[in-house]
């Protein structure tokens, strides 16, 4: 394997899509190849995620949310390590970064600093090889595939200033036969939803991820709106048409007594599972992410037993893209899919390990953005390389969200022979 040398490592404090500070990282190799990354940041986070480093002691800047310490990590200890010797692979560098940090959650140097370096280096190495990023990331065990986009068109929870407790209501154009058709369907349903909301006198202001944030209380109201908007756009709601995916983010509305607050109701775990079962009967829902709180393990067992053979059950806050946690969940039969977020674990290599572990364990994967994003489109290439067939990056609106979908269109145009859609194993499991 040809060795490479890293000669430049720079970072800059920039703003994410919520107006909060994050990092931009730039890497330069001795052969002239370069790479960059814009680091995402989440609002709804799992308790076991890798930890961002922020300037909490300095309230005079951004209310203590600045990332100058993380910039210092990149340009200080990390840069000294990376410039010290030649390297053979991204995996070797990522392992060295984890060892340099020395904590279980990457809190000393900052997961935001480490993941930015890892992503930027992956781009530089892809440029060094003269190919696209997804071509560099793909493994020999995987056939690359263009994913079905899951557009978050209605926002609630911590992503919007409305009374809707469920966080994300997504549409998934299962009927599409190409990337361009999928993007077209998403944009047309989104436009029809805007018109419908306006006709009903609802606000069409946007939440953090570009979805509308109407003054709704019950999730069933939102689901009915999606069905109507899909029909108004000229498409068929359904598992073979335009399906619905939910991210309730249940950890955010769990009460101290263990119950769940959904609109005007207080529900036990079993009552919430029963409500999901009714929703699935009444609406074309194919996937539920974080349907229960991350610490409700008994509930997750019940949820999986009740609905796991009917729909996709995605672990996010409870899995946090951590290979060790995902391995344990697979062994215990919790959920049947994992959300994949680069900054939850902190390096590209560990992210790819989490994907491989899911694949080997029969768990589906959905590549995901964060609520705080930049125009970095890394996850689009990652989704294609993973061959998982699923990505979510918000609504078909706002530049930082659309950047990911546009990148997928570019990849599709670059390689028109790439397959599109869910892998056969997922389609067969849910009888699509």
Annotated binding-site ranges for Mg(2+) = 247, 289, 316
Of 414, 432, 413, 412, the closest CA to residue 422 belongs to: 432
Give the residue among 368, 384, 415 at the shortest CA–CA distance from 167. Answer: 368
Torsion sign over Cα 170, 360, 320, 311: positive
**H-type helices in 66-218, by residue range?**
68-73, 79-82, 90-101, 111-129, 133-137, 179-199
DSSP 45-101: --TTSPPPP--TT-TTTGGGT--HHHHHHIIIIIHHHHTSS-BS-HHHHHHHHHHHH
**Exactly one of 49, 168, 209, 350 is catalytic; which is it?**
209
The residue annotated as part of the active site, out of 69, 106, 341, 404, is 341
- Between helix 111-129 and helix 378-386 the angle, nearest 10°, is 70
Residue 341 designated active-site: yes
**CA 168 to CA 392: how far, in whole Å?**
11
Distance, CA of 234 to CA of 412 (rounded, Å): 25
Q: Is 220 a catalytic residue?
A: no
Mark the binding-site residues for (2R)-2-phosphoglycerate, compressed into ranges.
Answer: 167, 341, 370-371, 392
* Active-site amino acid positions: 209, 341
């Amino acid at each position: 394997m040809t060795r490479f040398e890293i000669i430049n490592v720079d970072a800059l404090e920039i703003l994410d899509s919520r107006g909060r500070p994050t990092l931009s990282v730039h890497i330069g190799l001795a052969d002239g190849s370069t790479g960059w990354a814009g680091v995402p940041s989440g609002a709804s986070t799992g308790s076991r995620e890798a930890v961002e480093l922020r300037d909490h002691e300095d309230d005079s800047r951004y209310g203590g949310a600045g990332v100058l310490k993380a910039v210092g990590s990149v340009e200080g200890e990390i840069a000294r390590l990376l410039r010290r010797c030649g390297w053979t692979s991204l995996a070797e560098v990522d392992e060295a970064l984890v060892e340099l940090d020395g904590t279980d959650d990457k809190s000393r140097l900052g997961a935001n600093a480490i993941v930015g370096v890892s992503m930027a280096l992956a781009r530089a190495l892809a440029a060094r090889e003269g190919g696209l990023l997804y071509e560099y990331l793909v493994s020999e065990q995987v056939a690359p595939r263009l994913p079905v986009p899951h557009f978050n068109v209605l926002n609630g929870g911590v992503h919007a200033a409305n009374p809707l407790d469920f966080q994300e209501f997504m549409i998934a154009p299962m009927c599409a036969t190409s990337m361009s058709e999928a993007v077209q369907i998403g944009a047309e349903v989104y436009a029809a939803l805007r018109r419908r909301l306006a006709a009903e006198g609802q606000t069409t202001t946007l939440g953090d991820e570009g979805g509308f944030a109407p003054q709704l209380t019950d999730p069933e109201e939102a689901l009915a709106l999606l069905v109507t908007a899909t029909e108004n756009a000229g498409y068929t709601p359904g598992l073979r048409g335009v399906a619905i995916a939910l991210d309730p983010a249940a950890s955010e509305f769990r009460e101290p007594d263990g119950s769940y607050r959904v609109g005007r109701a207080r529900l036990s775990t079993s009552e919430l599972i029963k409500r999901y079962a009714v929703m699935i009967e009444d609406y074309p829902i194919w996937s539920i992410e974080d349907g229960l709180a991350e610490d409700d393990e008994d509930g997750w067992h019940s949820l999986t037993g009740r609905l796991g053979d009917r729909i996709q059950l995605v672990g996010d806050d409870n899995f946090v893209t951590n290979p060790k946690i995902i391995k344990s969940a697979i062994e215990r039969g919790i959920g049947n899919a994992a959300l994949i977020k680069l900054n939850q674990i902190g390096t590209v290599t560990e992210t790819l390990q989490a994907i491989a572990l899911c694949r080997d364990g029969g768990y589906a994967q959905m590549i995901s953005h964060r609520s705080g994003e930049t125009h970095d489109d890394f996850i689009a290439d990652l989704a294609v390389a993973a061959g998982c067939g699923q990505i979510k990056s918000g609504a078909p609106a706002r530049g930082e969200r659309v950047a990911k979908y546009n990148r997928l269109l570019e990849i599709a145009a670059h390689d028109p022979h790439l397959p599109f859609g869910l892998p056969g194993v997922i389609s067969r499991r849910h009888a699509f």
